Amino acid sequence: MSKKKIHYAWWVWLSCIAIAFFSSGALGTQGIFMRPVTEELGISATKFSVVFTVMSLSMFLFLPIIGKLLKRYDHRLILSTAVIIQSLAQAMMGIYQSIIGFYISAFFIGMVTAVTLIMIIPLTVQQWFYKNIATLTGIALAFSGVGAAVMQPIGTALIAAYGWRVTYFILAVVIVAGTLPFTLFVIRTNPAEKGLERYGQPANSGMKAKTNVVEQKEGISAGEAYRSPRFYLIAAFAAC
C-alpha cells in the first residue's frame, strides 16, 4: 500500500510560519534595546521611540508598492530580498554611533515588513489553499507573536551577556538562518509552478479556481489603497 504524498501546500504553509516566527518575531525584540542603547549613546527614550514610528510610516507607505511588485515578480525573489534587507538593517544597528543610523535602518525594516508580515502570508495561503484560508492565515500570523515572545527573553539574556551591539548581529543571523532557506527553496508563487492545484480544491472546479487566482492578482492602485479604510486598519495593526 503506497503512502499518500503530503500536498506541497503544507510545506508552503510551514514556510509562512517560519517567516512569521523569525522575521516578524524579530521585530518584537526592538523594545529590549531601548535602555542599553539610550544609556550608551546618551539619548532620550523619546528619540529612540521614533524608531518605531519610522518603521510604521515606512510600512504604511510601501504597502501599495509591494502589492504591485508581488503581482509582477516571483515571490521567492521578493521575499528573499526582503529577508536580506531586514537582516542587514538589523545588523547595522549594532554599529551605529548616532540615532540617525537607527532611523535609516528602521525605514528599511518597515519597508520589508510590508512584505514579510502584512502581504505575503495572507496572499500565499490564499493562493495555495481552497478551504480554511482564514484559519490557516490566522495561525501563521500568530507565530509572529510567538516568535517575539520567544526571542525577547533570549535577546535580553544575550544583551546581558554580550552587549546590545553583538545581540543585534546575532538576531540578524537568526533572521537569515530561519527564513532564507524557506524563501529560496520552498516558497512558490502559486500551485501551477509545481503542476498542482490548490489544496482541497474539488476536481471539477479547476477552471473556476484558476480564474479566482487571476482575479486576486488584479489588485488596486496606490491611490485606491490610500482611500480604503481597510488599508488604515492593516497599518494600525502592524504598528501595534
Asked whether residue 143 is domain-assigned, the answer is yes
Nearest CA to 67 among 172, 220, 232? 220
Indicate whether 3 belongs to any domain.
no
- Distance, in Å, from the CA atom of 168 to the CA atom of 87, rounded to the nearest integer, reads 9
pLDDT band at 30 (very low <50, low <70, confident <90, very high): very high
How far is residue 182's CA from residue 184's CA, in Å, rounded to a whole number?
A: 5
- pLDDT value at residue 220: 45
Q: What is the pLDDT of residue 3?
A: 65
107 pLDDT band, cuts 50/70/90, is very high
Residue 84: name the closest of 7, 172, 164, 169 by CA.
Answer: 172
Q: Could you tell me if residue 155 is inside a domain?
A: yes
Is residue 187 a contact partner of residue 124, using CB atoms and an 8 Å limit?
yes
Q: Is residue 184 part of a domain?
A: yes
Task: Say if residue 119's pLDDT is above 50.
Answer: yes
Residues 6+ apart with CB under 8 A from 55: 27, 30, 106, 107, 109, 110, 113
Across the range 209-235, mean pLDDT stands at 46
Q: How far is CA 193 from the centre of its chain?
A: 22
pTM: 0.82
pLDDT of residue 24: 87
Q: What percent of the chain has pLDDT over 90?
A: 71
Domain containing 207 — which CATH number? Answer: 1.20.1250.20
In a domain? residue 145: yes
Question: Range of 119's domain?
Answer: 8-239
Q: How many residues does the chain have?
A: 240
The mean of the pLDDT values for the chain is: 86
As a whole number, mean pLDDT of residues 90-118 equals 94
Q: What is the mean pLDDT of residues 107-129?
A: 92
In a domain, 161, yes or no: yes
Q: Is residue 203 part of a domain?
A: yes
Among 85-89, 157-161, 221-225, name the one with the lowest average pLDDT.
221-225
In which band, very low, low, confident or very high, does the pLDDT at 221 lie, cut at 50, 70 and 90? very low
**pLDDT for res 204:** 63
Q: What is the pLDDT of residues 127-173, one digit of tens each?
A: 999 999 999 999 999 999 999 999 999 999 999 999 999 999 999 99
**Average pLDDT of the residues in 230-238:** 47
Into how many domains does the chain fold? 1
42-77 tens-digit pLDDT:
999 999 999 999 999 999 999 888 888 998 999 999
- For residue 205, what pLDDT is reported? 58
What confidence score (pLDDT) does residue 222 get? 44
**Residue 56: inside a domain:** yes
